[in-house]
Structure 1
């Protein structure tokens, strides 16, 4: 016997002596002085039940668990009490005879005892046989090509060690210091480090027809068939058109023989039209809940995909088609507040479609989420500006162009920022008017979100002023946020300036006139500037 084992046995003996002298046992469920007086050098087990057989099973279990707990606590005094399976008890001490039993007219109760030295001899034989069996299984699993088979072998070993109460006791080799359970966990660690998750649907916009699956293999290409994994759907913590809390949706599955597993999109409609994340991770700890190592591995061995589901793109990104042809741009004759720079002129455009509203925070959140943007615009975490139906602000000209490029790629249509002429033509809706709704001042009936409107002091949800819509139904063409265009009015040569139109919540009523414009630095974002897009159409 090794020096370390001798020290452990001595410690166990001293602990047992202490409990005998104090007439109390930490390892028996309850000492019964009326039945037995405990003696030094023994392990005791006490059991009771509705029947004699039930009491005997409980007593044997108590003895085994007390002995194993003593061994663990000789190394770690704070260790929890060991628990074992019925099969383990039967294999260890099934032939032991009761030391004391209750009388026939008393409730069934029994006490067992075994000399510590006898237990040690018996347990060594049992542990050696168990070690040989489990070590062989672990070695065989390690040689498998299928990563899931390797994990399965390790999980089976860990589960058996738990049943036997040997997780923190059985060494990998006789008289060794490394536990067999640690070797099994190490095999799981090695396998999980090599796993690669491949999603069938890439990050981006999805719809009702999209199929969601993942393929799991190791870095050598070996499919992980039969691997337990967990799918988790969760709503991203980003602005959306709904304010309802959405609970995560989870599904436990096993990969098929080729390492594939599929999952359905959640049926809850609150997962639609918003940024969502699909996470897949291993679920090894479900088989061995007591393993802290496996729980940590499951948390670390994961991958995710970022989606937003729009079943109807036309409804998600509504627009109005503007016909080709000429129109009167610049100041109209009846506009007495027009400045000289707002020169009246005739302009011509091809046909195009323009967004019904400015781009909202919810729409922009889908872009940020699916592109895994590392940063968001200023104010995106400010509740005064970041509600889903409010227009996105603090986006630079380049940010707006990036959003347009993403939407073009995702939908197959070509989106871009409007020119100043395209913006004006859409705002007028075929009429020579001062404001999108006509010639009435914005203060007449509160037709827009401007400085001092009395209803909003920041940006407002798009469409909050129905009487400010134009004849084509376009929303917030004046007020709320000024909007980027691709033009730079009156400037020749290279410049960072771009023209914004429509006026904003920070402007007075006069600045909301259709012909009014500002040239601002396109590299900056502003709290009162957003954008809407045009979509190219063919007639």
Structure 2
């Protein structure tokens, strides 16, 4: 068994009474400090940089309990009876706990008769059984605390019997190590129950350093990992995905490449995506409900807090909110026409983008006047829809027929037309909205001219009643904004002194009248093939899809005339004074001088004026 019964110490004193031998002659194992308990204190939530697995307090090596044989008073004449009782106790496996157990009786016999062979053989059998029992207890997986306590007591008995035995020393070390591992495992479990997973992980890690295959520590680490994953999922369920990632980061340090952490990442990302999809869908519903923009923006803020950069769901919701905020149910560049009550369709409209621009002319711009200054910034926080072309003869005629209207030129009986014979603009009787630039009947697809600003406003009011939408003349700022279409040059097409080919109906040196006339003040080298107004949309649209903003006909806008832009509205609203007579005309026309084709050019006209050079288009709110 690797050792022998001790022959020094207590056995040397057995001639004395057993009581005295037990009290005065037993060699005590060296004293050890009392083990310090591990206390698991609950910890408050900590920041990410603090989330490290920390070492658990290392419990001191638990000393083996000292054992002394229960006192047995034995006289020489009682030896035979004691041996008999010891044999019965040995057979019943009662070895060391009471005075009538085998080992105390055999020791008492040897104290009286040190060479008594039966007692020595019985004591050796008891020792062998104790060695086997301690080894079995060390392997017992259930009730480890109770098993190790029993093993410690039995090891103390063995150490008492054979303090120099190798088997006894080995078992003593194993029992001490097992009790230390048990203390660490228990401290880890208490820390985990107390809400300190970092301390728990440290304790279990120490166990595995000492015994890599320790199943209880492995289960403990798995429990720590599960607890951290649960914390991560709880955080994700409350939309705190930063905290969820921190918890997962902690969990990933418990066991390298653990599939459970990878699976949890997938689940939490799925939770994130589900929450983002719900916020996106809820925000989109809000945009079409009475809750409107405010509720949708609140959901967008929630989505931004949990989304990864560039998340598609957030991008969709943000884009739709921006569209609704700036365009209602429309989108920039959208073309539409509203249905009329009589079964027809209104003018084709296009949605221009919201934004801002510098309105007017700079102080250094050639040909500019003080009426076009000061240049000032105007911003449109919401887009608007504007007619793609000038209102046509056919469109205006539908209004006249439906309302029996008598526009200004019709009532007055004349308008201003171009006279081919003299080359001048003259008053001609009978010219009204049905006439073209020279007084002859105009084709239905030509822009309507010979209308006053009040005629244009009457058409807008009729169209609003027909469609249930609000139509009006554009403000001066809206007109210039749409005319420039994002450009900043002197002309609508930039700073070049000649218009790009096909860009519009302007006064070009290559234009020829029916009688062979040429313009005296024109864009050199430019010709558009028309003397007079051209059919709507005959030329290329600008960058925002609008035709003839800078040419064909000049156009009425909603503003009253002001001699400069001082105190002009910064939001692009019409600058209107009730009862004003002088109104504003914007945009070049087929008979304008080049300087009057500049993007900032503006003209004052009496509200009753009708002419072959002035038409209009409309704006509709969205």
Normalized against structure 2, the TM-score is what?
Answer: 0.34
User: Which is greater in Rg?
Assistant: 2
Identify, as 1 or 2, the structure richer in strand: 1
More helix per residue: 1 or 2? 2
